[in-house]
Chain A
């Protein structure tokens, strides 16, 4: 749902256009099947997050373009903020862990002196 909404941020897209954009946004990790895409579109439309933008006929085939609604943009913004907060918390904790495991200045000096003594002895 998150990627499908993101795919509609810059412009309205038709079914296959959304599949392509989701594929691109996810670096190929998410490849929507057509049945799944329309399940997602039904749900998003039911919640008022996307709406029909226009219909076109290309090479004799029907294309329906969907656009992000204001409420969809709001929902996406909230979800993006939540994910950003999660990522920020994870990054901060990883940084703390790295700092904890890195040797302190006194210990580093001792290591350098030991290495120099060993070099002199050799």
Chain B
């Protein structure tokens, strides 16, 4: 009696980290079997989807530093939250750039409407997150992500040049920070209200970039070498490499290099797509070499940050606090 159900529930519990199972598995199995009552194996019993979902949610929370997590998972949770925060910061900067570009773009196209909507929503979501309104930031960021993905889909339908790496990178840039925001900022993480200065910095950087590009416009046409350095992702690459150098030079908590390594990995397809782009491969060799240099710096930095992050993580077998 109940053997099959027990076996299947134990399989579901394998979703949980080993350290958590070591302490909770037997008691969870006992509670589940009491809850289910006697079910003969002939009835081919299975844990309900609701039970499986509850274990999956518990597993995600424990792995991202929720109550009962080991220090290692607490660090992973902090890394995921930093990825979400910096991802939204990037979108807030890009959003401010898009809004500042409005007077210079063709009026009333579908992509423009979606782009403007996404830009405004990203910036709002970032401000809400930074000011501690996490619950409100989540649906706003989801709406921003939906608008951004819709814009991407419309672009593809318009028959524009399809660069797979570019599409993948843009989709990942939306999905990964969103997933980090939804999963990383769970109920066990008390909201933190950050100061206004770091809150307005990314949108201000987006506006500044637009002003700089406008000022450099006459020069940019003549110096293609600058192109890969003045697009948003190019600048983000420079910022990430610089932050990585600072991070490696100083003793910072493990979650910081881990988060930067994740963000660098996310940026890599964008830089690879630049190298792959026809306007570069047919352009001056020095320009192509400059883009390859960007890629190389990013790869090296991601590897160094990942190694530093993993080395700095607390040991796997540290026990969690017993109830």
Instruction: Tell me the A residues contacting B by CB distance below 8 Å.
Output: 14-16, 19, 33-39, 41-43, 45-47, 50-52, 58, 61-64, 66
Contacts and interface: CB of A to CB of B under 8 A. Distances in A.
Contacts of B322: 52
Contacts of B61: 39
A16 B30 CA distance: 8
A36 B30 contact: no
A39 B58 CA distance: 6
Contact of A19 (B31, B55, B67): B31
B32 interface: yes
B24 interface: yes
B41 interface: no
A43 B50 CA distance: 20
Nearest to A62: B26
A45 B24 CA distance: 14
Residues of B contacting A: mostly: helix
Interface residues of B, number: 29
Contact of B30 (A47, A51, A61, A66): A61
A26 B269 CA distance: 52
Contact of B34 (A16, A35, A47, A50): A16
B27 A63 contact: yes
Contacts, number: 80
Nearest to B26: A62
Interface in B1-58: 24, 26-35, 50-51, 53-58
A50 B58 contact: no
B140 to A, nearest CB: 26
B66 interface: yes
Given A19-B35, A39-B57, A61 B50 contact: no
B323 A66 contact: yes
B27 A50 contact: no
B323 A15 contact: no
Nearest to A16: B34
8 contacts: A15-B31, A16-B34, A33-B50, A43-B67, A45-B68, A46-B67, A46-B188, A47-B67
A58 B26 CA distance: 12
Contacts of A61: 26, 29-30, 33
Interface of B: 24, 26-35, 50-51, 53-58, 61-62, 66-68, 187-188, 321-323
B57 A63 contact: no
B67 A62 contact: no
A62 B27 contact: yes
A42 B67 contact: yes
Contacts of A38: 24, 28, 58
The 4 A-B residue pairs whose C-beta atoms are closest, nearest first, are A35-B54, A15-B31, A33-B54, A42-B68
Given A36-B54, A63-B30, A66-B323, 16 more contacts: A15-B27, A16-B31, A19-B31, A34-B32, A35-B28, A35-B55, A35-B56, A35-B58, A39-B58, A42-B67, A42-B323, A45-B323, A46-B188, A52-B323, A61-B33, A62-B27
B34 A43 contact: no
Contacts of B67: 39, 42-43, 45-47
Contacts of B28: 15, 34-35, 38
B54 A34 contact: yes
Contacts of A36: 54, 57-58
A42 B66 contact: yes
A63 B29 CA distance: 10
Contacts of A58: 30
Contacts of B55: 34-35
Contacts of B31: 14-16, 19, 34, 37
A42 B321 CA distance: 10
A64 B27 CA distance: 7
Nearest to B54: A35
B307 to A, nearest CB: 32
